[in-house]
Structure 1
Amino acid sequence: MPSSTSSTSSSPLPISTSPELVLDFWFGDGLKLGWPSQDMGKRWFNGGPELDEEIRQTFGKLVEQALAGGLAGWEAQPLSRLALVILLDQFPRHIFRGKGQAFAGDEQAQRLVSDALAEGIDEALPWIGRVFLYMPLTHAENLALQEEGVRRFSALLAAVPEAHRASAQGSLDFAVKHRDIVARYGRFPHRNTALGRTSSALEFEFLKIGPRFGQ
């Protein structure tokens, strides 16, 4: 996909911007249903430049605010914390696709998730909400967090209703793939160029055939 620009939209967001708007945009009715339709899944992972631009125009300023630590109040409740995690973990990957800023919110998101898990907040979320709460663990260049992500997705697979089992298995497979890369390389080689890192010979070989996860 074409790389997105590194600047966010200058159009102001409505004053009513709230966690609910983030969740409604990202999940549609998926939180109410427990798991969204396949069309929503395709939109998340194959939305392309159109989705990137929509997120930039609609939520760019809010993402900037989240990255600056200006939405700490959203940490108070399970659903608003989930919305903040999405702002920090998912939306920068769309707004800044292919650039180092795509990962600017990762550490904040991982802290929020670790705190949420320690408090059992994930248990208050619908199934698909848990998937995106756990997602920052799969983005961590930290093997301990990666292993925690695999554990959480394994537990999710064991707990979901049969109707959601195939989707939960896909989420677990995704987590294992990420964990295995970090276990082998200590980081994600596909981020090296964007982050100004030098790739090793082994990483160059991986980059010829390995996944880039949209970046």
Structure 2
Amino acid sequence: MYVILKRSLQFGPTLAAIRKANMSAETLLAAAKPTDADDWLSLIILLDQISRNCYRDDESALVFTYFDPLARDVSLSAMARGIPDRMRWKLACRPWFYMPLMHSEELADHEKATEEYERMQADVRLLIEGVCAESGPEAEAARMVRARAEEATRLVDNYVDFEQKHFDIVKRFSRYPHRNGPLGRASTEEENDYLENGGETFRR
């Protein structure tokens, strides 16, 4: 964990510069000029994942109020351009495009995330059971998935279940109660009861 945190902190100045410039997704994409799917994926991981290691505890408010919405907008821009489909058969990479939607407190984002993770789930089943291309990325993915079919199925099922867990919380509370402290939001009695009785915090 220490190594992961140390490496993440190397990106702190980049995140700080983005924040100082108060960049929108539009201005950030214009500056970063992502060309291929790897560029888009790297940018989304920087905003959505690495920010969580750089800004913790009380500082996590910056993640929730700035980097999460920014990551969401970049993610939606990527999807509008069909970028995740370029990684359709790269099952270790594709889920990260949808993670910013999972972190959102908007129901529409969770509906989209659920749709995308279920589509990925269906693709894995297709690779295991269906007729696939004889060559190329799809064929290579099929060979890998079929060699470890149980693990691959469990992986995508976990993504669907994890998104559903997030979705259920937002449907119930219209927000994530565990964020109330860092964001200075007053918790309702129901939210306090939820958190005090083992409610999810997702390690903030």
Counterpart for residue 100 of structure 1: 61
**5 Å matches for 1:109-124?**
109-124=71-86
Match of 1:211 in 2: 200
Residue 176 of structure 1: CA displacement?
0.6
Q: 1-side partners of 2:167 and 2:7: how far apart?
A: 30
Question: Are 1:189 and 1:203, in contact at CA under 8 Å, matched by a contact in 2?
Answer: yes
Structure 2 residues not aligned, in runs of 5+: 125-144
> Aligned residue for 2:6?
53
The Cα of 1:80 is off from its aligned counterpart by: 0.7
Count of matched residue positions in the alignment of Structure 1 and Structure 2: 167
TM-score norm. by structure 2 comes to 0.76
Measure, in 1, the Cα distance between the counterparts of 2:11 and 2:71: 17
Partner of 1:27: none
Structure 1 residues 202, 118: CA separation in 2 closer, same or farther (over 3 Å shift)?
same
> What CA distance in whole angstroms lies between the structure 2 residues aligned with 1:121 and 1:102?
24
Q: Which structure would you say has the larger Rg?
A: 2
Counterpart for residue 196 of structure 1: 184
Q: Distance in 2 between matches of 1:203 and 1:194?
A: 15
Where 1:76 maps in the other structure, the secondary structure is: coil
Q: Deviations over 1:53-82 (max 9, x none)?
A: 3311x2111222344437522433321111
Following superposition of structure 1 onto structure 2, how do residues 140-155 of structure 1 map, counting pairs within 5 Å?
Answer: 140-155=104-119
- In the alignment, structure 1 segments of 5+ residues that lack a partner are 1-46
Q: What is the CA-CA distance between 1:85 and the residue it aligns to?
A: 0.7
Q: Which amino acid aligns with 2:43?
A: L
2:99 maps to a residue whose letter is: M
TM-score (norm 1): 0.72
